[in-house]
Structure 1
Amino acid sequence: MNKYSSAALQTSILQKIRLGQFYLIATTLGLLVISCSESDNSLQCFCSQIGIDSVWADSSNVSCYKIPVNQTYGNDKSGKVYIAAIRAKKTGTSSNEPLLYLHGGPGIATLDNAERYINSTHWNTLRENHDLIMFDYRGTGYSEPSLCEDALDSLKNFGKTNPSTEEYKAKEIELYMKCRASLLEKNIDIQSFSSFQMAADADEVRHALKIKDWNVYGVSYGTMVSLLYIRHFPEHLKSVVLDSPFPPNAPSFDFIRTMNSALVNIQNNLKEDSATAQKFPTVLEDFARAAKRLNENPLKVDGVDFNGDDFANAMVAAFYKTDVVPLIPLALHEFANGKDSLLATWVETLSSAGAYGKVNDIQGAAITCYECKPRTPEESPDSLEKEYPHLASLSMSSYLNLCDTFRPESPNDKFFEAVKGDLPVLVLVGAYDPGTPPFYGEAAVQSLTNSMLIVVPNASHAAMHSSDCSFNIVKSFLQAPSIKLDLNCMKQVGRIEFATTNLKEELEKIKNKKIAKTN
């Protein structure tokens, strides 16, 4: 996996698991050229123009927009691009400010799942008191500019020819560089793809919708955008929730250290119970044994090789799902001991490609490669592989080779400083998050003088959704950010109950839940 940790990152992992059978669902619209309702000086559009079901939108009091912003913030001569956005009006009568939702990523569209999000229990509850605003980050979904979907399609098709790893990497670099050259020909500035620019776009959306002040909820990569919003455009922010934070002052991104944190936390939890401690004494070693075994003798999944690197990425993806965490020690134990039939079932049951929105890997790389390269020798893939040999299968060395060619630029040192501010900020991080672990939360609040950090027990990524307790804390904070929060429910959270037998039966339960949700 090769992007910021987030709901977006899970999609990227699952693409890799299928070894070339990539589930990229990219839009092929090119630039959005359908005009909005300029005659009444409105930016509102037919919802079908930005992929939203018009019947649902009309019945749900949801308005759709295409909002022109400068391609480069502050430069009126850089040309305009359109940002696709929606506003779901509050269902109650409160006077609370609107709530902006900043999605994970980068490279993942938001509006693709807007209907599902807004209809979900938690967002429907928040909507009682707040208008909800969502938009596609530039270069994703229905927001301009369109970024080389033809190149992504070519890479997907090439992957179906079952190339060697070296052949695939070479083709990937070739197509990404052709994409970069084509952007220049189309007067699309790759420098306009940055987290700062996403924050600037967000504030332009606020201005266009005539919103004076609003609250912001960012999750995963969306927390990076939120933090840069605090840094550069704090004047119209009432409060900010950072769920599963990835702050600019955190260590450069990799999955080795973050996954190690999750595995160590799970091992420490297992030690608190004599039965689980005896059953699963070596979680980290089980992970390493399974990866080593599969690298030496890959498993066939859907007719193609599934090796140790694919296994490692699949386990990261599993950790992202809070309801799967109780199965992980048992799964690692079984896989380390050669239970390959269960491993194939595990991959099939937990695959959820596209579940977090349409993917544009080039948009993701344009930002990730710019902002997430190692900044010290200790953060290099070679150093991390030596320090954490049991997690070497999660090395990002290949992706960083792509970055060095496709987007070798980096922000200046000020970008990586802790974000300062005195706005009310609530930070949630799951104890078992494999992408944005608790030490990322500590980095996020370092210079936020009016912030509160909550490490949510038993939770993984997107901790707000892990329990009624964590959700109600967020709801209360957004209702009254200056009032001290009641955290008593967190004290009532019991220790996690790990499965110790019958992995197949547990997976069947998860499969049935997925089927029930789709019916």
Structure 2
Amino acid sequence: MIYLTGGPGAKVTTYVKRFKDHGLIKHRDLYILEQRGIGYSDDFCPFYSTRQLSIKSPKTYAEKLAQKNDAIRQCFHNATRAGVDLSGYNTIENARDVQALRMALGFESWNVWGLSYGTILGQAYLKQDPQGIKAVALDSVMPLFARGDALYWRMAKWYDRDLKKLDDACQQDENCAEYYPDLGTQVRAVAQSVTNSPISVVVKDVEHYPDGQARLFEYEAAGLPFMLLYEDSNFPALPAITYGWSEKIRQRDESFFKLILQAPSNFFTFSHGMHDAVLCLDGGRDSQRASGLADLRDFEVLAPVFGSEASYQAISDICREMQVAPRDAAEYAMTETSIPSLIIAGDMDPITPPPLAKEILPGFRNGTYVEFPYAGHGPTRSVECAGDMLNLFYDSPQRRPDLSCVEQVKAPEFIAPLMTTDLFALLSLIATEDKNKLAKPIVWVSVSVLLLVIGLFVHSLNWFINRTSEKKVYVASARPLSWLASVTALTGLAVFAAAAAATINVTETLILFGLVPWAKYGLILVYFAGVMGLIVIYQIIQVRMKAGIAAHLLLGYLANGLAAVCLSLFL
């Protein structure tokens, strides 16, 4: 089987890590081609995002959009000077490469699986090598013939569609409906709040921010939910994240945005030069311009998040200016085939939603349309049973496909209400700016826990030892409370840690805003232990003042009480 990667421009390493446990490879060998111009296949602009950083400190969103277009122009200019033939980086040539790979491997035919840009390549490959293809699955479809059409790159239109769907799903959940109503309103509000007034914070990362100022513009402000919609595993947390993010933007929380703007992005490993060349030569930039201008007319608030009239016009003009104009439109005509096919869409895909998949269906005479409910971009890689579904299809492509996997997808169980805490965001900021400073909170917690464990052990060991003197009667009155403080604090910490793990298991982003609801029980226990710790300290001081107490007992009780107090203060 050959997997056709997305982007265009996504590196193979992105997929190898993700697919190593995918259900499909239980029964099949999976080949992934690092397409020309990507990664080890001669990335011709490897320093695309890091050139001339000294002048890349935009103060307005318009400047940032202009700089993005300048980066495209600079990449093309430098590549051409280095002897790179940019005209060779397009989907038609990519399809020929896939055929050449099949022949080089000695396969008479193979199965094809394409996702996102891989569906564009898949449509072209079906025309290029029909005799070499047994069956094909195209997931998260963009039509090959999208050039210049105003429908296909409607970013704001699809975003608005998904926000409505997310809000509808949230309203079906009692807690979500109560705590997180009107999600679209929240997103639009944050977009408007930074329009012409970006959030600016002083940062230590002067390599990426030469003027020492990092700024959050419209796309970053309104774009977080958009990016999270790609992965359906994020959906349970998305309403809570949207509200948490909106609140941070309203507060203009300096510490929080220092973290966000300096944090490394691991969303995708990408070769931008190839991406830009393919979009130019395939006519994608013309389609983006037409769609972007249509969005600007129809979506007054959301559309400017993705671009401006000037930026859309410029990004299309650059292609012709740099001699990378679109190829002949006839090469990109609708694909027509009788090869067994699955045409797959995620109901809540923010970039290639179901209407786009349905556009190519007329050409697939032996195609079956598959739509996964409550799924984002690429359900065949994210839905657990999708690997089995694909295996069954590829085993017997002439049979009616078994789509029972679709019925297994259920509505997300939303996390509501979120137990809000800034603890993990603050720790992440410390780790981002100076990892050495993490030593203090680590020592604080470690020493507190160690003292509580020692106290619990000692108290448990001596629980039934009789004391007869008056002094020891006073001590004995503090002992059960000290023991209970240790038990309560450690139990609360365990619950809190388990809640943190459960939160990360949903999505790492969520922990920056808070924890799953039941984390509050751990926090209550730890706070209660802190109060008991204060009482223990008071009692043991009273014993010391009234009757005296051995130094080692005094220190032991004080340490145990202080440990409970310190742990509660930390959380």
Provide the TM-score with structure 1 as the length reference.
0.70
Figure out how many residues of one structure are paired with residues of the other and give that number: 409
Cα pair 1:256 1:392 within 8 Å, conserved: yes
Alignment of 1:208-357 (within 5 A): 208-249=104-145, 251-273=151-173, 276-295=176-195, 297-300=197-200, 303=203, 304-337=214-247, 338=250, 344=256, 348=260, 353-357=265-269
* Distance apart, 1:316 and its partner CA: 1.5
Cα pair 1:458 1:496 within 8 Å, conserved: yes
Alignment of 1:72-471 (within 5 A): 99-110=1-12, 112-113=13-14, 115-117=16-18, 120-122=20-22, 125-144=23-42, 146-150=43-47, 152-156=49-53, 158-159=55-56, 161=57, 165=61, 172-174=68-70, 176-249=72-145, 251-273=151-173, 276-295=176-195, 297-300=197-200, 303=203, 304-337=214-247, 338=250, 344=256, 348=260, 353-357=265-269, 359-370=270-281, 371-375=283-287, 379-397=290-308, 399-408=311-320, 409-415=325-331, 417-471=333-387
Give the counterpart letter for 2:347 in structure 1: A
Give the counterpart letter for 2:415 in structure 1: A
Give the whole-Å Cα distance in 1 for the aligned partners of 2:358 and 2:39: 32
Give the whole-Å Cα distance in 2 for the aligned partners of 1:201 and 1:442: 27
Give the counterpart letter for 2:8 in structure 1: P
Secondary structure of the 2:371 match is strand
* Distance apart, 1:164 and its partner CA: 5.3
Cα pair 1:331 1:503 within 8 Å, conserved: no
| Bigger mean CA offset, 274-283 vs 317-326 | 274-283
* Distance apart, 1:138 and its partner CA: 0.7
Give the whole-Å Cα distance in 1 for the aligned partners of 2:258 and 2:71: 33
**Which of 387, 394, 402 does residue 486 from structure 1 map onto?**
402
Give the whole-Å Cα distance in 2 for the aligned partners of 1:186 and 1:441: 39
Secondary structure of the 1:363 match is helix
Structure number with higher strand proportion: 1
Give the whole-Å Cα distance in 1 for the aligned partners of 2:406 and 2:343: 14
- Mark the runs of 5 or more structure 2 residues left unpaired by the alignment: 204-213, 422-498, 509-571
* Distance apart, 1:446 and its partner CA: 2.7
Match of 1:17 in 2: none
Distance verdict in 2 for CA 1:494–1:130, change over 3 Å: closer
Distance verdict in 2 for CA 1:175–1:494, change over 3 Å: closer
Match of 1:77 in 2: none
Give the whole-Å Cα distance in 2 for the aligned partners of 1:345 and 1:486: 47
* Distance apart, 1:410 and its partner CA: 2.4
Secondary structure of the 2:224 match is helix
Cα pair 2:372 2:379 within 8 Å, conserved: yes
* Distance apart, 1:190 and its partner CA: 1.7
Give the counterpart letter for 2:225 in structure 1: M
> What does the per-residue CA deviation read over 1:34-88, in whole Å, with 9 as the maximum and x for residues that have no partner?
xxxxxxxxxxxxxxxxxxxxxxxxxxxxxxxxxxxxxxxxxxxxxxxxxxxxxxx
Query: How big is the alpha-carbon RMSD for the aligned residues of Structure 1 and Structure 2?
Result: 3.3
The answer to whether 1:500 aligns with 2:416 is yes
Higher relative contact order (CA 8 A, sep 6+): 1
Give the counterpart letter for 1:385 in structure 2: L
Secondary structure of the 1:427 match is strand
Cα pair 2:134 2:339 within 8 Å, conserved: yes
> What does the per-residue CA deviation read over 1:327-364, in whole Å, with 9 as the maximum and x for residues that have no partner?
2223333444536559948985997734533x221211
Cα pair 1:217 1:240 within 8 Å, conserved: yes
Cα pair 1:365 1:403 within 8 Å, conserved: no
Distance verdict in 2 for CA 1:508–1:351, change over 3 Å: farther
Cα pair 2:158 2:351 within 8 Å, conserved: yes
* Distance apart, 1:264 and its partner CA: 2.3
Cα pair 2:66 2:311 within 8 Å, conserved: no
Give the whole-Å Cα distance in 2 for the aligned partners of 1:342 and 1:503: 21
Secondary structure of the 1:407 match is helix
Give the whole-Å Cα distance in 2 for the aligned partners of 1:246 and 1:503: 39
Cα pair 2:35 2:94 within 8 Å, conserved: yes
- Mark the runs of 5 or more structure 1 residues left unpaired by the alignment: 1-98
Give the whole-Å Cα distance in 2 for the aligned partners of 1:254 and 1:266: 18
Cα pair 2:142 2:152 within 8 Å, conserved: no
Give the whole-Å Cα distance in 1 for the aligned partners of 2:87 and 2:109: 29
Give the counterpart letter for 2:101 in structure 1: V
* Distance apart, 1:191 and its partner CA: 1.7
Cα pair 1:429 1:463 within 8 Å, conserved: yes
> What does the per-residue CA deviation read over 1:462-503, in whole Å, with 9 as the maximum and x for residues that have no partner?
201333333321121122211222223433433222222116
Give the whole-Å Cα distance in 1 for the aligned partners of 2:176 and 2:506: 26
* Distance apart, 1:270 and its partner CA: 3.1
Give the counterpart letter for 2:139 in structure 1: D
Provide the TM-score with structure 2 as the length reference.
0.64
The answer to whether 1:476 aligns with 2:386 is no
Secondary structure of the 1:216 match is strand
Give the counterpart letter for 1:502 in structure 2: L
Distance verdict in 2 for CA 1:452–1:179, change over 3 Å: same
> What does the per-residue CA deviation read over 1:284-336, in whole Å, with 9 as the maximum and x for residues that have no partner?
22210121123355335673221332122222211112111222223333444
> What does the per-residue CA deviation read over 1:200-246, in whole Å, with 9 as the maximum and x for residues that have no partner?
11111111111110111111111111111112221100011112111
Cα pair 1:312 1:393 within 8 Å, conserved: no
Cα pair 1:385 1:395 within 8 Å, conserved: no
Distance verdict in 2 for CA 1:471–1:128, change over 3 Å: closer
Give the whole-Å Cα distance in 2 for the aligned partners of 1:503 and 1:301: 26
Give the counterpart letter for 2:298 in structure 1: E
Structure number with higher helix proportion: 2
Give the whole-Å Cα distance in 1 for the aligned partners of 2:391 and 2:201: 43
* Distance apart, 1:266 and its partner CA: 1.6
Cα pair 2:9 2:274 within 8 Å, conserved: yes
Secondary structure of the 1:484 match is coil
* Distance apart, 1:439 and its partner CA: 1.0
* Identity of matched residues, %: 20
Secondary structure of the 1:241 match is strand
Distance verdict in 2 for CA 1:289–1:222, change over 3 Å: same
